[in-house]
Structure 1
Amino acid sequence: MSTNHTATVRELIRQHYPSLTQSERKFANALLDNYPAAGLTSITIVASNAGVSSPTVARMVKKLGFKGYPEFHKALLRELDAKGTGPTQRRNNWSSEAPDSHLLNRFAQAVTHNLQQTFSQVETDRFDQATYQLADADQRLYIVGGRITQALADYAFTHFQAVRPNVSHMTSSSATWPHYVLDMKPGETLLIFDIRRYETNLLRLAEMVRKQGVKIVLFTDQWGSPITSLTDVAFNCWVEIPSGWDSNVSTMMLLETMIAAVQEQRWPEARDRYERLDELFDKTHFFRKFT
């Protein structure tokens, strides 16, 4: 019986992982390590590359809810195609199947679904690992985003700078990035935001910093940026909405949860920074006083 393929293959693997046999998990892990490329050839080749038999692959894809390997293969190809779509194609995709309900309702349903899918896929140990890395003020934290996600990077920087010292916001101009990389040291962390259509400059940056021993925390979409294979921790956030653009709501919500977790891990040091920061704001009369 065919499954409902609104879920990505990656998501289906995570859902069914506990029920997989050892050999099936070996193929699943090989696919996730090089996703989705490792599943885009024939069943014989993908089985051979993963070191398992073709029947093992066939059994696993059926456990995921596919009728057989061809349907599984097509699902991966659809995901690959979705990664590269621009605003016009995205708008065409949803408008051709748009229900009669008001756009407000369709947006509310889409965003609610995105939030549910995003948070249901976050493993607590991965979340805690990222929290620990972002809270470690002994190591500098660098933050960078892309054309659209630069707004998320700016938001993250504003908050993390208040919570902890040694935070650098890398500018939106990739021409300046080598200056930051020059001073990066092993053990430091780079927080990256990258959603479709994934940016080549961000991938090159990740490759450079990885070679220098810098840890990478990535916020990406449900299909997964190519940077995923270079990360210590990656979070997949669901982004599709009835629009030519993707949504940052689930990404922002997960980011705000992470900021709160880092704040709690650094309390009471963070409290002291907040109090000193307020004293500086008072001296500059930055905020209006009502008393």
Structure 2
Amino acid sequence: MSEETQENSETVRELIRQHYDALTQSERKLAQSLLENYPASGLASITIVADNAGVSTPTVARMVQKLGFRGFPQFHEALRRELEAQLSGPIQKRELWASEAPESHLLNRFADAVMSNMRQTLRHVDTDGFEKAVSMLSQRDSHLFVVGGRITRALAEYAFTHMQAIRPGVTHMTSSAATWPHYVVDMKEGDVLLLFDIRRYETNLERLAELASSRGVQVILITDQWGSPISKIASPVFSCWGEIPSAWDSNIATIMFLEALIAGVQAEDWPQTRERFEQLDEIFDLTRLYRKFS
């Protein structure tokens, strides 16, 4: 894979994870240092990056080459571009697309971008992590909490609606941080927090993840390709691509991945899920909320 392709399709964080097994002990020490305060920890000079990690500058040079970069300047530039992308708001994103947009119709450009996002998302899903998340979300003896941010609260509500139908013990936390202590006080070790956080990453969500984790709660994070800071707390972490020709990021790949998770949880213990569905249908019939067709 060429360096240009890597910069376009993969973050440095993802490259570190992919190559981690091939790193030496000192290179792994450097990798951990970079991931602890990502991406800021890699934006200093090569000497400072080495000193902060407690390794030599040749170790830094060797590791960035293993990641596919010609040298530290290219590695540094890739991190700088990621940080720029993380901090960009709707106006900056719209101006970027306006200046680079091809002449083809918006619908075609939009469709191309969405399809590319879905391919990239699926390409980077760790199947072991996916199976782990399905198992965690399926545990009926633990409580499941679901929360999102300013934009992703809609995704959290979507996840909650389906999970509540599949299994008992599901709570949709409001997006107001002032109410979160009331939920946290009921969290216990072994519970699960499904959390959504995309750029611009929300400090309140990061604090919530820290509080939940300190109580023994397992955090599952669904984020974007740049990776929320909550990535260092959560496990597993799933990155969904979302750039489109718009001032906003797209959640189409994220909803696709979420629906795959929901399908996995539904199938994990189908007999119990089916019984719950049947009970729900009986209650719906009693309420006469939905029209029935003979």
TM-score range, shorter chain: over 0.9
What is the CA-CA distance between 1:150 and the residue it aligns to?
Answer: 0.6
1:71-94, CA deviations, whole angstroms, 9 ceiling, x for partnerless residues?
211210111121111111110111
SS in structure 1 at match of 2:8: coil
Tell me the distance in 1 between the aligned counterparts of 2:183 and 2:67. Answer: 43
Q: Which position in structure 1 is the counterpart of 2:228? A: 225
Tell me the distance in 2 between the aligned counterparts of 1:15 and 1:194. Answer: 22
Mean Cα displacement is larger for which, 19-28 or 185-194?
19-28
Mean Cα displacement is larger for which, 189-198 or 58-67?
58-67
Structure 1: gaps spanning 5 or more residues: none
Structure 2: gaps spanning 5 or more residues: none
Tell me the distance in 1 between the aligned counterparts of 2:143 and 2:13. Answer: 32
Tell me the distance in 2 between the aligned counterparts of 1:36 and 1:157. Answer: 32
Tell me the distance in 2 between the aligned counterparts of 1:141 and 1:37. Answer: 33
Q: Is the 8 A contact 1:89 1:244 kept in 2?
A: yes
Q: Is the 8 A contact 1:3 1:65 kept in 2?
A: no
Q: Which position in structure 2 is the counterpart of 1:59? A: 62
Q: Which position in structure 2 is the counterpart of 1:3? A: 4
Tell me the distance in 2 between the aligned counterparts of 1:214 and 1:18. Answer: 28
Q: Does 1:250 align with 2:253?
A: yes
SS in structure 2 at match of 1:218: strand
Identity among equivalent positions (%) equals: 63
Listed as ranges, the matches of 1:86-101 within 5 Å are 86-101=89-104
What is the CA-CA distance between 1:174 and the residue it aligns to?
Answer: 1.9
TM-score with structure 2 setting the length: 0.93
Q: Which position in structure 1 is the counterpart of 2:267? A: 264
What is the CA-CA distance between 1:232 and the residue it aligns to?
Answer: 2.2
Q: Does 1:142 align with 2:133?
A: no
What is the CA-CA distance between 1:63 and the residue it aligns to?
Answer: 3.3
Listed as ranges, the matches of 1:20-31 within 5 Å are 20-21=23-24, 23-31=26-34
SS in structure 1 at match of 2:174: coil
Q: Does 1:43 align with 2:46?
A: yes
- Return the letter of the residue paired with 2:8: T
Q: Which position in structure 2 is the counterpart of 1:184? A: 187
Tell me the distance in 2 between the aligned counterparts of 1:16 and 1:179. Answer: 41
Pairwise CA RMSD: 1.8
Tell me the distance in 2 between the aligned counterparts of 1:101 and 1:10. Answer: 33
Q: Is the 8 A contact 1:140 1:167 kept in 2?
A: yes
Q: Is the 8 A contact 1:163 1:266 kept in 2?
A: no
What is the CA-CA distance between 1:67 and the residue it aligns to?
Answer: 2.7
Tell me the distance in 2 between the aligned counterparts of 1:94 and 1:17. Answer: 34
Tell me the distance in 2 between the aligned counterparts of 1:14 and 1:95. Answer: 33
Question: Alignment partner for residue 84 of structure 1, among 72, 81, 87?
Answer: 87
What is the CA-CA distance between 1:20 and the residue it aligns to?
Answer: 4.5
Question: What is the number of equivalent residue pairs in this alignment?
Answer: 291
Tell me the distance in 2 between the aligned counterparts of 1:102 and 1:59. Answer: 45
SS in structure 2 at match of 1:99: coil
Listed as ranges, the matches of 1:130-169 within 5 Å are 130-169=133-172
- Return the letter of the residue paired with 1:9: V
SS in structure 2 at match of 1:236: strand
SS in structure 1 at match of 2:157: helix
User: Could you say if the C-alpha distance between residues 33 and 117 of structure 1 is closer, same or farther in structure 2, counting changes exceeding 3 Å?
Assistant: farther
Tell me the distance in 2 between the aligned counterparts of 1:88 and 1:146. Answer: 20
What is the CA-CA distance between 1:6 and the residue it aligns to?
Answer: 0.8
Mean Cα displacement is larger for which, 42-51 or 134-143?
42-51
Q: Which position in structure 1 is the counterpart of 2:282? A: 279
Q: Is the 8 A contact 1:140 1:166 kept in 2?
A: yes
1:151-187, CA deviations, whole angstroms, 9 ceiling, x for partnerless residues?
1000000000011100001112222111111111111
User: Could you say if the C-alpha distance between residues 211 and 16 of structure 1 is closer, same or farther in structure 2, counting changes exceeding 3 Å?
Assistant: closer
What is the CA-CA distance between 1:29 and the residue it aligns to?
Answer: 4.1
What is the CA-CA distance between 1:14 and the residue it aligns to?
Answer: 4.2
Q: Which position in structure 1 is the counterpart of 2:242? A: 239
Q: Which position in structure 2 is the counterpart of 1:213? A: 216
What is the CA-CA distance between 1:21 and the residue it aligns to?
Answer: 4.8
What is the CA-CA distance between 1:19 and the residue it aligns to?
Answer: 5.2
